[in-house]
Structure 1
Amino acid sequence: MVPVFSPLEMIFVRGEGSRLWDQQGRDYIDFGAGVAVTSLGHGNPVLLKALQDQAAKLWHVSNYYTNEPALRLAKKLCEATFAEQVFFCNSGAEANEAALKLARKRGVDISPDKIEIVAFNGSFHGRTFFTVSVGGQPKYSSGMGPNPAGIVHVDYNDIEAARRVIGAKTCAVIVEPVVGEGGIIPAKPEFLKALRELCTANDAVLIYDEIQSGNGRTGALYAYMNGDVVPDILTTAKGIGGGFPIGVMLTTAAVGNHFKPGSHGSTFGGNPLACAVAEAAFDAIRDPALLASVRDKAERTAGRLRDMGARLGCFSEIRYQGLWIGCELSERFANRAGELIGKAAAHGVLALQAGPNVLRIATSLTITDDELDEGLRRLEAACAALTAG
């Protein structure tokens, strides 16, 4: 394999619920959910049935045609959100690529110099050359020559900085309602409100990147539903497929109609298998009882983590929205999140990083109380090992 990853040494062979087993038969509690992807756990029987049923009917027909699962999923997404149109693709990066291209296309349709995209430091929007350039982390975009022109970065949650750069040449503002890779940092409501007002005043589109924050992760179907601001474009992926690759761009007809046949495309986008699985996942995720359970488990988990941090001295702050939790390491253990993840894996619990100083937890939305308790117990043992060292 090309050396772009640095995986831990275990190789997983089976998963059930929020547990994984490696080649040696050792079990792990999964607190990462494949980076917020396996939203309904491993081996979910509802998703498995949807995949098997569709696999027996139709796998692929290309975008010269459409198919029933894609049409059903598009209708459900539009009925449940602000959207009137959707574009299906295969990943979050592709969803953001589509959104940014659409925003540029709309901008140029209005005026040839309306091409500027405003984004925020610490953000992450994907790994294509365009999306990694829009993302606000130079470590991901450097070393490949000049980035595309017309991209401006300012600090997240800084209203005055946004006011200085959003103007007549702005075609889009792209923002994560909760910054994920940059540390699980929720946007301030007044910041999002200001972005909406600035976009409206300058005829720019507001793009919400909900690749991770969408699909029940924050305890709402989509994070924008936690506030009063409605975007013009929303991108999502990860949890909507429950582990099957799919990405979606949702938008209004007024914005979406700037694309014409041939403006954009995706060979596998809208694939019947992906859409059938995603439809089953979406139906399960939007259940009010499941979303209430996410909010309840998040409160209890954050409380346990705060207590753990106070007793062991490992965490200085716990930030969260739903089952998406960032544990800021205390000054004594600054920038050692990677080390803590290694110790956690050694103690049988899988977690993530959100920068060098934040342990990230993103369990499945359906994690059981027993799995959650066991995972927290193992994480506490890992934190104790870190502090003892």
Structure 2
Amino acid sequence: MVNKKIQEEEQQLFQLYNRFPLVLDHGEGVYLYDTDGKKYLDFAAGIAVMSLGYQNKELEESLTEQIKKLCHTSNLFYHENGGAAAEALNRVSGMDHVFFTNSGTEAIEGALKTARKYAALKGNGRFEIIAMEDSFHGRSMGALSVTGTAAYREPFEPLIPGVRFARFNDLDSVKANITDKTCAILLEPLQGEGGIHPATQGFMEGIRALCDEQDILMICDEIQCGMGRTGNMFAWQEYGVRPDILTMAKAIGNGIPVGAFAVTEQVAAHSMKPGDHGTTYGGNPLACMAVKKVVEIFEKDKIVEHVREIAPYLTKRLDELVEETDCVTERRGKGLIQGIVVTKPAGEVINRAIEEGLLIISAKGNVLRFVPPLIIEKEHIDEMIEKLKHALL
């Protein structure tokens, strides 16, 4: 039955994904089930999306009620969820104003446009953006232009001009790329797709200082590492280094497609104006209900506090795996975004893990990536380690 479903899909869809041979049917808590009823412990969470896990009744009830009322209005009109969702997201992100998009990639597009418009209004002729090597920001032409992996960019060149790449966690490299045309510096406080690399405290502080000294905007991409995953609601908060523009998506909607970019009061007052940017579906009533309710659940259920309590146990078990297993050479990460470097092909290990009833994903550099729902407990970590050990044999 599974093979038939896969064959039917392959015949109809434009096949742009290297999918694993698995047809998922439903989820519950931190587990997923395929169409044959097999159970899988999910340490991928839809690529860091399903932070509250599956079938959260409180969220489902709110979304169901909203579907019965209104899903779309266009942004020519107000609706009752928009302001509440924006207030909630600004409160927990530490920013001042937010614009809702449909995805993380769209959030990056908005951030790039905002940075260039800010520079244009200054009249200083600046347009260049410094991004980081090994970064990942999305697959649209703008987001791809600032993604620091050549293999993603090269098939689609020429891309948007004016992008320079510096080495992550190397402040001298950033300084060497600054010119009198630089308008923004873009980075992930923790690189996810690029191999699970956290920024150092000195790097974050150094970039903030450079931006302040030279009137350059600092953009933090927290699409994957934000919304509680590192042990703070947003990763920048641990560093104490507030960006001028912050992008987010994934977990802010727990499966409902929604992204956002948020800005400081200064940037909002001196950049985009009505007509400069827009979206048909972004910030629709259903998406905003998801954001509003997800933030409410995070705060009520103390999700960030739970991450801080449970993450050291995941770190401990992964460190033990490094010590005990010859083919695991290193652990990297922070909070509940972790990675281990393996000497075996990551794809083979992931396939073996699926056979064992465990879902994990990879990252650059032969890294196995662990981004589970933030509601996991110690018993789920123990179960994951046992299944992973079998997959690594």
Helix, strand or coil: the match of 2:339? Answer: strand
Does the C-alpha gap of structure 1 residues 356 and 80 become closer, same or farther in structure 2, counting only changes over 3 Å? Answer: closer
Q: Which residue pairs with 2:147 in the alignment?
A: 135
**In structure 1, how many angstroms separate the alpha carbons of the residues matched to 2:92 and 2:369?**
29
Q: Which residue pairs with 2:318 in the alignment?
A: 305
Amino acid at match of 2:186: I
Q: Which residue pairs with 1:341 in the alignment?
A: 350
Match status 1:381 vs 2:393: no
- Within the candidate set 55, 71, 82, 1:59 is matched to 71
Question: Are 1:207 and 1:231, in contact at CA under 8 Å, matched by a contact in 2?
Answer: yes
The C-alpha deviation readout for 1:218-276, integer Å capped at 9, x for no partner, is 11100011112110010000011011110011111221231111100111111100110
Unmatched 5+ residue regions in structure 2? Answer: 1-12
Unmatched 5+ residue regions in structure 1? Answer: none
- Within the candidate set 222, 232, 240, 2:252 is matched to 240
- Within the candidate set 252, 255, 260, 2:264 is matched to 252
Q: Which residue pairs with 1:273 in the alignment?
A: 286
**In structure 2, how many angstroms separate the alpha carbons of the residues matched to 1:249 and 1:7?**
30
**In structure 2, how many angstroms separate the alpha carbons of the residues matched to 1:368 and 1:228?**
29
Match status 1:321 vs 2:334: yes
Q: Which residue pairs with 2:165 in the alignment?
A: 153
Q: Kindly report which structure 2 residues correspond to 1:73-92, keeping only aligned pairs within 5 A, or say none.
A: 73-92=85-104
Helix, strand or coil: the match of 2:386? Answer: helix
Q: Which residue pairs with 1:285 in the alignment?
A: 298
Match status 1:365 vs 2:390: no
Amino acid at match of 2:244: D
Number of aligned positions between the proteins:
380
Amino acid at match of 1:92: G
Question: Are 1:168 and 1:202, in contact at CA under 8 Å, matched by a contact in 2?
Answer: no
Question: Are 1:28 and 1:348, in contact at CA under 8 Å, matched by a contact in 2?
Answer: yes
**In structure 1, how many angstroms separate the alpha carbons of the residues matched to 2:33 and 2:377?**
17
Helix, strand or coil: the match of 1:56? Answer: helix
**In structure 2, how many angstroms separate the alpha carbons of the residues matched to 1:141 and 1:227?**
30
**In structure 1, how many angstroms separate the alpha carbons of the residues matched to 2:196 and 2:178?**
25
Shift of 1:166: 2.0
Does the C-alpha gap of structure 1 residues 234 and 286 become closer, same or farther in structure 2, counting only changes over 3 Å? Answer: farther
Shift of 1:136: 0.2
- Within the candidate set 352, 355, 358, 2:364 is matched to 355
Helix, strand or coil: the match of 2:186? Answer: strand
**In structure 2, how many angstroms separate the alpha carbons of the residues matched to 1:80 and 1:346?**
39
The C-alpha deviation readout for 1:332-368, integer Å capped at 9, x for no partner, is x25x112111111111100011114100000000123
Shift of 1:379: 1.2
Question: Are 1:33 and 1:363, in contact at CA under 8 Å, matched by a contact in 2?
Answer: yes
Amino acid at match of 2:276: S
The C-alpha deviation readout for 1:263-300, integer Å capped at 9, x for no partner, is 00111111100110111111222458321221222111
**In structure 2, how many angstroms separate the alpha carbons of the residues matched to 1:346 and 1:312?**
20
**In structure 1, how many angstroms separate the alpha carbons of the residues matched to 2:383 and 2:141?**
41
Does the C-alpha gap of structure 1 residues 286 and 173 become closer, same or farther in structure 2, counting only changes over 3 Å? Answer: farther
Helix, strand or coil: the match of 1:270? Answer: coil
Could you tell me the TM-score, scaled by structure 1's length?
A: 0.95
Amino acid at match of 2:266: A
**In structure 1, how many angstroms separate the alpha carbons of the residues matched to 2:64 and 2:302?**
26
- Identity of matched residues, %: 38
- Superposition misfits of 4+ residues, deviation over 3 angstroms: 286-289
